[in-house]
Structure 1
C-alpha cells in the first residue's frame, strides 16, 4: 500500500496597509508560518514597492473592498490608521476572513464590541497586535506570577515614556485616533496588567491628563501627551500608569511594568532607552535576579501566533474577545467616556 503524507495547509493572507509596521508583521508571518502574501492593499506606492520585495507573488488590490471580495484569502492583516481599524475589521470578518489588527482594535469600547460581534457572527478568529505580551521578558514575568513565586500581587507600576511621539498628524486628532499617549502607548501596559491579574473588575479610575504641561479639560483641540492614572481593582490591587509623548525622559524611551507581590517583586523593562530590548527581573528584598536578557526578535510574534492558531482553530475566541472589550472599557473610563 502506498501511503501519502497529508498536504500541509498554506494560508493565503491579505495585508491591508504595509507601512513599516505592516511590513514588519508581514515578514514575520511569512518567515515563521506556512503562509503566503496573496494580496496587498496600500495607498502609498513606495510602501507597496517595499512590501513586494518580500512578497513577490502578491497581487496589488486597488481597495480594501477588492481584498474583502477575494474568496481565496483565509485572513487579513490590518495595519492602517486607527480610525479605519474597526470598520475594516468588521468588513473583513463579514466577508469570511480571519483578522489580525493593529491596536487599538477600536477607538472606543463601542467600536470594539462591534468588531467582536462581527467575529462572533462570522465564527472567525480575531486577534489584536498587543505585542508586548509575546516578548520573552514579559512571558518570564507572567509565568513567575502565575506560578505564585512572588505571592499575591497588590500593586503594579506601569510606565511608558516616549521622548519622540508619533510623526503622523492623525495621532493628535481624537476623532481619528481615539486618544493620545494612553491609546497609543498605555494600552499595551494596561493590557499586560489586566491579563496578569485575570482581568478583574476595576472599581475606581482617577485620571490626570495633560497637554504640553497644562491640564487637559477638553479634547476639542488636543489629545493628552502626558497621563497619570490610578486604577483600583475589586481586590484592592492598585495599578498606576504613567505614559507620555515628547517628554524629557533623558533617553529615547522608558518602558516598565513592575509587579509587587506579598513574597517579592518582578519587572519587565527596557534596556538603555531601547524600544526593542527588554529584560525581566525578579526581586526579593535587596536582591535582584535577572531572568531574561536580549536578544529577542519579538516584534512580529503576535501575528505569528495568530497565523499558527488559524491552522488549527480558525474560530471565534470568546476569551480573547472579552479581554479586548474589558481593556477598551477601561481605556474609555480613563478618558471619562
Structure 2
C-alpha cells in the first residue's frame, strides 16, 4: 500500500467488510466526503455485500494479496481485534490515515505502538468509539462540563447484552484481548473519561465471571460478566457492569448515570434498543428530557475522521485518548505493563 496526497475526496480502502464495516461504508457514502476505492475481506458473502454498496471499488479477497502502489489516502479497519494493531501500523507506516474499530489493540502497549506510528507518520488516526457521538451523550456531557450538576462524585455505567458474539475469535483471549469488558466496557470507560475530560484514574479493580464462575488472574477463557470500579481525579467513584448473554429481559441495557451535588444526568437506551437513546437531567423525582430519538449517530465518528483526512489528515493528539482507555482496561484486567 502507498499513499497519495489527500484531495477533496480522499480515496479509502476497507479492510474487513462485515456488518460494522459495511455500516461505516454506507455512512461515508451518504456523506459524500470520500471515495470508496478498495474492499478487502476473506468472507465472499461480506465482500459481495460491500461491493454492492460501492460498485466502483476494487475487491481483494485476501489481505496478503493487496497489491503495492495503491493510490489510497486512508484505510478503514474492521477486522478481528488481534489484527488491529499490526494492520493499523502497516497502513500508517505506508503513509495512510487509519480509522479502526475499537479496541484499537488488545492492550495498552499495543495501543501505544499504533499511536506512536501515527505520530511518526503524521497521519490521522481515528478509533470508532461511537457512543460518545450520540446526541444523548453530548447532552449529558454539556450538563457535566457546564457545572450544571455541581461536583460529579459518582458515575454508574451499564452495558448488558442479551446476546453474545457470534464469531469464535471473541472467545479466545489471545485473539480478543478479553471478553465483555474489552468488548462492551471499552465504550463505557471511554464515555466516563470523555465526559469528564480525561482525568487521571486509579484504584481500579474488577471481578470477572464466566458462566457464573469467578475467573482468576490471567485466565485462559474470556469473561461474560464483569463488575468493575475505579476512581477519577479528584475523587469521582465509578462503578461499571457489563455482560454477554445476560437474562436482561430485553435485547440490551445501556446506561450511564452521572451524579452531582446539584443533580444528575443520565443516558439510557430505549426499550432494549442498541441504537435509540434518551438523555435526561434529573432533579429529585423529576426528569427533564434533553435528547431523544431519532438520532442517526452510528457513522459520525467515521465521517468526522474522513473529513479530517480530506482536510489533510495530519496527526491529532486526540488519538492519545485511546491509550487512556486501554491503560484503564489493563488495570481492570490486572495486566499492568504486560503486552
In the alignment, the residues of structure 2 paired with residue 157 and residue 58 of structure 1 have an alpha-carbon distance, to the nearest angstrom, of 44
Structure 2 counterparts to residues 67-216 of structure 1, below 5 A: 67=66, 69-216=68-215
Shift in Å at residue 287 of structure 1?
A: 1.1
The 1:335/1:34 distance shift into structure 2, 3 A limit, reads: same
**CA offset digits 1:220-260 (Å, max 9, x no partner):** 43111111111012311101000000111111100000000
Counterpart in 2 of 1:321? 319
The 1:96/1:66 distance shift into structure 2, 3 A limit, reads: farther
Counterpart in 1 of 2:4? none
Structure 1, 56-65 or 83-92: larger mean CA deviation:
56-65
**CA offset digits 1:246-276 (Å, max 9, x no partner):** 1111111000000001111000110001111
Counterpart in 2 of 1:20? 19
Match of 1:334 among 314, 332, 335: 332
Which secondary structure does the structure 2 equivalent of 1:80 belong to?
coil
TM norm structure 1: 0.95
Contact persistence 2:201–2:232 (CA under 8 A): yes
Contact persistence 2:102–2:128 (CA under 8 A): yes
Q: Return 5+ residue gaps in structure 1 as ranges.
A: 1-7
In the alignment, the residues of structure 1 paired with residue 319 and residue 270 of structure 2 have an alpha-carbon distance, to the nearest angstrom, of 32
RMSD: 1.3
Counterpart in 2 of 1:297? 296
Segments ≥4 residues shifted beyond 4 Å? 65-68
In the alignment, the residues of structure 2 paired with residue 233 and residue 48 of structure 1 have an alpha-carbon distance, to the nearest angstrom, of 43
**CA offset digits 1:140-173 (Å, max 9, x no partner):** 1112211221112111000000011101111011
Aligned positions, number: 329
Contact persistence 2:269–2:276 (CA under 8 A): yes
TM norm structure 2: 0.94
